Structure 1
Amino acid sequence: MRLPVRIGLVDTEEKVVELLEWDAASYDALPLPHSRWGAGVIDRLALTGDETVVDLGCGTGRDTERLLDRLPHGRVVAVDGSAQMLDQLGARIAARADRVTAVRADLTRPFPAVVHGDAVMSVATFHWIPDHATLFQRIAATLPTGGRLEAEFGGAGNIAGFLDAFRRAGGPPDDDPWDFATPEQTASALSAAGFRDVDVRVVPDPAVLEPGEQLEAFIATVLLPATLRTLQPDDGRTLVRRTAAELPEPVIDYVRVQVSATRA
């Protein structure tokens, strides 16, 4: 059973195609720290079981699945820009698809009207979005007064060592697709967007991988998909191998920002 996917608000079909597509099967097969991060975010939501929760950047649905376990009388609005990710999500939660609305949408643009709920969560997504001030305003508009936002994403200093290795390996200069904001920038943007009780925490959280195939798959699938889609396959594989070889150990130096806030 394939979960029906509602296409988000885009001007043209070409706009959808331009969204970053992911290798969802390879992504799901990796030992992702994202799974642990998502569990923490969901715990901090302190759900009662009947809410509607928006999962922004839901990916293959690991956290959506956890949310459904915590929401026996609730619903999830699962939002992602990747059709492959949403297809994988559909297979994962097929037995409970009646309690999920899947939305394909570009989070750098206004959200479709269906994206609203009692709470919003997000894991490892916001650093892909360059304008956090506007993003937080859009999130605030999806929530009622007192609605919760819990999120985790890369902050200032995130994967700095990896990026140094990438550039030593010949990676394109100034090609980083991420916005790793400081805690101060994040807190200020949240307050300006209409959130109160803003709490922003910085947590170093290195991911240790097996050298060789697993490390290279992680680099290609999680860290460099935007770069690799601009290269010929052989050039991409060479860049991944060289980047892995430049790392002093098979560790990705994650620095995570954890956000808790309430809609004023």
Structure 2
Amino acid sequence: MAHAWNPNDYGRHSAAQQAWAHELIAKLVLAGDERVLDLGCGEGKVTAEIAACLPSGSALGIDLSRDMIAFARERFPPEQYPNLRLIEGDMLDLPFDEEFDIVFSNAALHWVADHGRVFQGIARALRPGGRVLLQMGGRGNAAPIIAIADEMLAEEPWMRLFGGPAPCYAFYGPEEERELLETAGLTPLRVELIGKDMAFDLPEGLMGWVRTTWHLYLEPLPDDLRPVFIEEVANRYVERFPSPDGRVHVPMVRLEVEAVKEPEP
């Protein structure tokens, strides 16, 4: 299901995701002539950064959100970015056959429950010898603040308004991810959980992050009460987890995956 992303608002509250993407791009060690597929490209800024590293190659970004892709195409027009393409599509149904040297993804796969199906599509999309580098929310990601949101959904009026059990993101651990990679025909090189600190100068920054990314919690609620839910989540979190430096810190856990499609014998 495509969620209702707001590209402008997300762009203003995704500094941490972009910083993690910078770190991940550096790990690609690009030669400059690769063809790269970016899964869950969002508003396109990370895919454009990858394309800038490929003077003799190209980058293709794919995202399920029509709004995100429309925003990305307007921001990164083909006449200015000739080696960059941005298309609407579902990473569960990748239509590519041995077209790419690298499949990349940052902060996207935890939105998709069926990682095995994604990995099967990645294996088809890669040329023999192709590489995979992915980072996503992993087991334990944002656990303290998610626990607060789940606690609220067990209370009135939120329990009645939400109308169901608390949602779950696809936060996998290394063991299950390795097994899914191998089943899809990919050879895992490194699958590990990495701790990250997401920090905000003010509670409003925390609320902006919740507002722009917590679709599983917000979309079932009435539009006019979503800001109330967001503010209460943030207020409870700030009260329970004060920081000596006066900032708001959320402990994040990222699952990072490196794998290869073995060359043909």
TM (norm. structure 1) is 0.86
- Alignment partner of 2:210 out of 219, 233, 239: 219
Choose 1 or 2 for highest CA Rg: 2
Shift of 1:114: 7.9
> Which residue does the alignment assign to 2:245?
none
Name 2:185's counterpart in structure 1.
194
Aligned CA RMSD, in angstroms, stands at: 1.9
CA distance in 2, matches of 1:84, 1:32: 20
Percentage of matched positions with identical amino acids = 27
Unmatched 5+ residue regions in structure 2?
Answer: 243-247
Deviations 1:168-205 (A, max 9, x none): 33365633241111111111111221112421121110
Cα contact 1:38–1:123 (8 A) shared by 2 = yes
Is 1:206 the equivalent of 2:197?
Answer: yes
Change (3 A) 1:238 1:114: farther
Q: Deviations over 1:105-146 (max 9, x none)?
A: 1223x2134894111000011111111111111111100111
- Asked whether the equivalents of residues 204 and 254 of structure 1 are also in contact (C-alpha less than 8 Å), the reply is yes
The runs of at least 4 consecutive aligned structure 1 residues that moved more than 6 Å come to: none
Distance 1:115 1:226 in 2: 34
Distance 1:61 1:169, change over 3 A: same
Q: 1:228 aligns with which of 204, 211, 218?
A: 218
SS at match of 1:41: helix
Tell me the distance in 2 between the aligned counterparts of 1:120 and 1:111.
11
**Scaled by the length of structure 2, what TM-score is found?**
0.86
Structure 2 residue matching 1:141: 3-state secondary structure: helix
**Quick one: structure 1 residues 116 and 20, their matched pair in 2 at CA, closer, same or farther if it must change by over 3 Å?**
farther
Bigger mean CA deviation after superposition, 193-202 or 123-132 = 193-202
Structure-2 residue corresponding to 1:101: 85
Query: How many positions carry a matched residue from both structures?
Result: 245
Mapped partners of 1:25, 1:202: distance in 2: 30
Question: How do 1:80-91 and structure 2 match up within 5 A?
Answer: 80-91=63-74
For each residue in 1:15-55, what CA deviation from the matched residue of structure 2 results, as whole angstroms up to 9, or x when unmatched?
xxx51120110000125211121112211221111111000
1:156 pairs with 2:160: no
C-alpha distance in 1 between matches for 2:81 and 2:217: 33
**Given that residues 162 and 253 in structure 1 are in contact (C-alpha distance below 8 angstroms), is that contact kept between their aligned partners in structure 2?**
no
1:74 to 57, 67, 70: 57
Structure 1 residues 177 and 197, CA gap change in structure 2 (3 angstroms): closer
1:101 deviation in Å? Answer: 2.3
Partners of 1:166 and 1:246 within 8 A in 2: no
Contact 1:52 1:76 in 2 (8 A): yes
* SS in structure 1 at match of 2:133: strand
Counterpart Cα distance in 2 of 1:120 and 1:63: 13
1:165 to 148, 157, 164: 148
Match for 2:90: what amino acid?
D
Q: 1:23 to 1:107 in 2, by over 3 A?
A: same
